[in-house]
Amino acid sequence: MSTGIGARVKRKEDKRFTTGKGKYTDDIRNDNQAYAAFVRSTHAHANIKGIDASAALAMDGVIEVLDGHQLTGDGIGNIICGWAVTSKDGSPMNMGAWSALATSKARYVGDAIAVVIAETQAQARIAAEAVVVDYEELPAIAHVMKAMAEDAPNIHENAPGNLIYDWELGDEALADAGLASATHITTLDLTNNRLSPNPMEPRVAIATYDDAEEHYTLHTTSQNPHVARLLLSAFYQVAPENKLRVIAPDVGGGFGAKIYVYPEEITCLWASMRTNRSIKWTSDRSEAFLTDAHGRDHVTTAKMGFDDNHKIVGFKVDTVANLGAYMSLFSSSVPTYLYATLLSGQYNIQNLHCNVRTYYTNTVPVDAYRGAGRPEATYVMERMMETAARELDMDPAELRRINFIQTFPHQTPMLMAYDAGDFPKILEMAQDAADIAGFAARKTEAAGRGKLRGIGYSTFIEACGLAPSQAAGSLGAGVGLWESAEVRVNPVGSIEILTGSHSHGQGHETTFAQIVADRFDIPIESVSIVHGDTDKVQFGMGTYGSRSAPVGMSAVVKAMDKVEAKVKKIAAHTLEAAEEDIVIEGGQVKVAGTDKAMGWHEVGLAAYIAHNLPEGMEPGLKETAFFDPVNFSFPSGAFICEVEVDPDTGVTEIIKFTAADDFGTIINPMIVEGQVHGGVTQGIGQALLEQVVYDDDGQLLTGSYMDYTMPRAADIPFFDVSHHETPSPNNPLGVKGCGEAGAIGSPPAVINAITDAIGNNNLAMPATPQAVWRAIQATKSVAAE
C-alpha cells in the first residue's frame, strides 16, 4: 500500500495517543519541583492599592509570594503585540503596557496580580486565596460599543477614548461611487460572536532554572516554541536565547490560543530563578476561560451595491473589533490584514472599502482563533450574498456564479493576489453532492411533518501559509514568516526530519513522513519527525494560519532537493555514471536503464564512512533549508448546509453538511477530511451554541461548561467532504493549507440555512433554540399585521 503523497496513511502518532502514552507537559515531573498558583483580579477594572501576603506566607508549604513590582523590579519586560498597525491618519497603534503581573491596575477579571509558590498544587491554591488585594474599584467596559462612548472610563492612559487604531483598506471614494451607481443596495448589521477556544489540553508551563549554568528550560504547551523563546529573550528579558531552551512536547490542541506567550510562562520562569526551584503551573478549565485569548467579537455594518446585471458594483464595510484589556501578540493583525484583505471573497469586486476601529475593553485579550479574521470576513461576505439574493429574488448560487472570479492570478483591490482556483467547479461539486435538485421535494416532505427545512450556501476563500516575510514586514509584522527544515539521513538510511512546524493534533508525524517516503521511495517507518524543541530544531515560526503544509513542508522539500543532489553525486561517483542518469526508486539509487544500483542505505553509509566520496565533497548527509513563500496560498471552498427547524421549540437540526474544498495538492485525504470535520464542527459551534458572555460590570458569566456550550456529537451531522485540486503555484508541493477552512466557511452556511427555513433574515449567532424561536415569532407577528 502506498504511503506517499495522496495516500490515506493512518496516523503514526495515534498509537501513543490512543493508548495513553502521549507525553504532555503536565505529565512531566521534575526533581525539586514546586507549584505556582496565581492571584487573579475578581474585578474587571480596579486600582491595586496594596497586596497583603502575610497570611499566605505563613501557611503550610508556601515558599514565596511574588508580585508585579518585584517582577518589573527584576527587569522583566512588558508583553507586546508583534504586529504594528498604523491608523489611517498615520499615527501608530496605541499599545498599552501589559506586565505579566499587574502592578498598579487590574484590567480584566482574571488579570494576574501575584503568584504563590508552594510545595504542592493544593497548598499553592489555598494560599493564593489568602492573599488579600486591596482594590479600588473603577467603572468597567465589557462591550465594545460602549468603549467608544464619551464618558467611557479610560483603560490605558496612552489610548484616549480606548481607541487602539482607526484603520482602512481599499478606496472609499471608489466604493461610494460604486454604491451610488447601484440599482440595488443590500445593507446588513452583523455581530460576530465572541468565542473561547477550548483546546482539550489546558495550558501548562514548567520552568526550571539551573543556577550553576544560569540556564532556563521551559516546557510549555506552545504552537511555536522558537517564537516563544525569541519573545522571552528579546522582549521579556528573561534570559538570552542560548541560555533558554523551550520544549513543547505533545500538545493537545491549540486553535490559536497556544501561539502566544502568556503572563504565566513568564512568571514561572522568573519565579524559578527567584526560588531556585522548578516551577509548575497547570491551568484548570476555569482559568482557561478566564485567561486563554478569546476569538472574534466584531460588530459590522456592510453595504453592497448591484447593477442591473446583478454584478457587484460597490462594497463598503465598517467594523468595530474588541481586542480586550491588552494587545495580545497578533491581535492587531486579525481584524485588519487577516480580515479586510479577504473581503473580496470569491468575487470580482473592484470598488471596495473597509474601515476598522479596535478598542480596549475590560475583558480577556482577543487574538487569533482558528481562522483568525477570515471567518469574520467570510461571515460578512456570505451573509451578504445570501441576503442580497433573497432581496433580488434570485437563486443564491446563481448570484454567486455571476460574480465569481474566473481567471487567475487575480489581484483584488485589498492587497491579495489569488493564486489559483476554480470556483464554479467546486460550487457545482457541492451542489451535486448536496442534491440541490431534490431540495424542494425534501422541503415539502418536511413541511408535512411540521418542520421548516432550509438550505444555505457559503462560498469562501482564505489566505493561508503565513506568509511572504517581506510582504508581512511591509504590513507591520515584527517577524519573518518563513519556515525551516533539516533532513538528516542517518548512516543506515533512516531519516529524521527536523521541522520548525509544530504538531498539536495536525498529524505532522504522518504527513511530513509521507512526503519524504514519497520523494525517496523508502518505507514510511524509516522516517521520523522531530519538532517542538529549540535545542534540537534549528529554528521555526511554528504552526498557525494553516501554514505547516504550504510553508513547513516546502522547507522540507527544499532540504530534500539538496539531499537528493548529494545522493546523486555520491551514487554517480560510486557507480561511475553521470549524475543526470541517476534515479531514486524502490529503495535504490540506480543508473537509469541499467542494472547498476546501490541500496538507499548504502548511499547513506558511503556518505558517513567517507572512504570514497567525490573530490572535495564534505562527508555526511544532512541538509538544512529555509523556505520563504512568494505569496500566501488561497484555499477555497463551497459549503452547503441543510437544516430542519422545529417551529414550536426553535431547535435546529443540521440534516446534512456538504463541503467541497480546493486545498491544492492533498498529502493525506484522511487527515484533510479530519481537519474539515473538526473545523466545520467548530464553525457549527459558533453558529449554534458558543458565546462568551460578560455582564455590564465586566464579570465573565460563561466560566464553565455549564454556561458555555461546546458542540457535542448529537449537534453534528455526517459530513459529505469532497476535494478538487488546483495546485498552488507558490510552493513546490502545490499545497494550500486545510486547517482552518472548516471553521472559516461554515458559520454563514448554517445561518443562511436557518434564516432560509424560518423566513426571517434577522438572526444573530449563536442561533440557540430561544433565538430561533423568537425570530419565528417575529416573522409571525409581521405576517399577522
Q: Which is nearer to other proteins, 140 or 169 (CB)?
A: 140
The runs of H, that is alpha helices, within 456-598 are: 469-474, 508-520, 554-575
User: Rule CB under 8 A: is residue 602 a binding residue for other proteins?
Assistant: no
Measured from the CB atom, the residue of 158 and 704 that comes closer to other proteins is: 704
Sheet (strand 46-52) strand order: 105-106, 46-52, 132-137
For the beta carbon of residue 65, count every other beta carbon within 10 angstroms.
Answer: 26
> Is 105 an interacting residue with respect to other proteins (CB under 8 A)?
no
Using CB under 8 A as the binding rule, whether residue 58 contacts other proteins is answered as: no
Q: Give residues with Cβ within 8 angstroms of 272, minimum separation 6.
A: 207, 208, 209, 216, 278, 279
Q: How far is CA 240 from the centre of its chain?
A: 28
- 141 vs 415, beta carbon nearer other proteins: 141
CB 752 within 8 A of CB 383: yes
Nearer to other proteins, 255 or 289 (CB): 289
Q: Which is nearer to other proteins, 42 or 469 (CB)?
A: 42
CB of 114 to other proteins, least distance (A): 13
Q: If we measure between CA atoms, which residue out of 482, 484, 460, 483 comes closest to residue 471?
A: 482
Residue with smaller CB distance to other proteins, 281 or 632: 281
778 binds other proteins (CB under 8 A): no
| Residue number, 108 or 167, with CB nearest to other proteins | 108
Which cell goes with 498? Answer: 527536523
The answer to the question of residue 33 lying near other proteins (CB under 8 A) is no
| 561 vs 626: CA distance, rounded Å | 12
52 binds other proteins (CB under 8 A): no
Q: Binding of other proteins at residue 27 (CB under 8 A)?
A: no
Please, what is the minimum distance in Å from the beta carbon of residue 155 to other proteins?
17
**And the C-alpha cell for 645?**
427547524
Q: Mark the segment that binds other proteins (CB under 8 A) among 16-24, 39-47, 302-310, 752-760.
A: 39-47
Sheet holding 719-723, edge to edge: 452-461, 636-645, 652-662, 719-723
Contact 672, 660 (CB under 8 A): no
Q: Which of 5, 51, 56, 109 binds other proteins (CB under 8 A)?
A: 109
**116 or 671: CB nearest other proteins:** 116
DSSP 715: G
C-alpha dihedral (642, 702, 159, 168), degrees to nearest 10: 0
Using CB under 8 A as the binding rule, the residues of this chain from 113 to 132 that contact other proteins are: 125, 128-130
CA distance 476 to 479: 9
Residues 252-291 that bind other proteins (CB under 8 A): 286, 289-290
From residue 742, give the alpha-carbon distance in Å to each of 422, 440, 459, 684.
18, 26, 12, 9
525 binds other proteins per the rule CB under 8 A: no
Closest contact distance (angstroms) between CB of 274 and other proteins is: 24
Least separation, in Å, of the C-beta of 145 and other proteins?
21
What DSSP designation does 664 have? B
447 binds other proteins per the rule CB under 8 A: no
Pick from 119, 111, 126, 145: nearest CA to 56? 126
Q: Does 103 bind other proteins (CB under 8 A)?
A: no
Residue 121 or 469 having the CB closest to other proteins: 121
Regarding beta strands 719-723 and 652-662, do their DSSP bridges make them parallel or antiparallel, or are they unpaired?
A: parallel
Which residue, 106 or 117, is less far from other proteins as judged by CB?
106
The least CB distance from residue 497 to other proteins, in Å, is 43
- Which of 44/570 has CB closer to other proteins? 44
> How many binding residues for other proteins (CB under 8 A)?
22
Residue 121 C-beta: closest distance to other proteins, Å: 14
Residue nearer to other proteins on the CB measure, 38 or 379: 38
User: What count of other Cβ atoms lies within 10 Å of the Cβ of residue 109?
Assistant: 26
398 by DSSP, 3-state: which?
A: helix
Residue reference for cell 546523486: 568
Is residue 134 near other proteins by the rule CB under 8 A? no
Q: How far is the CB of 39 from other proteins (least distance, A)?
A: 9
**Residue 338 one-letter amino acid:** L
Residue 524: name the closest of 515, 534, 537 by CA: 515
Smallest distance from other proteins to CB 696, Å:
10
**Cβ distance 744 to 676 under 8 Å?**
no
* Minimum distance of other proteins from residue 367's CB (angstroms): 21
- Contact pattern from residue 677 through residue 716 relative to other proteins, giving x for each residue in contact according to CB under 8 A and a dash for the rest: ----------------x-x-x-xxxxxx-xx---------
Minimum Å gap between C-beta 325 and other proteins is 15
CB atoms within 10 A of CB 92: 11
Sole binder of other proteins in the list 42, 350, 494, 779 (CB under 8 A)? 42
Binding site for other proteins (CB under 8 A): 42-44, 109, 125, 128-130, 286, 289-290, 693, 695, 697, 699-704, 706-707
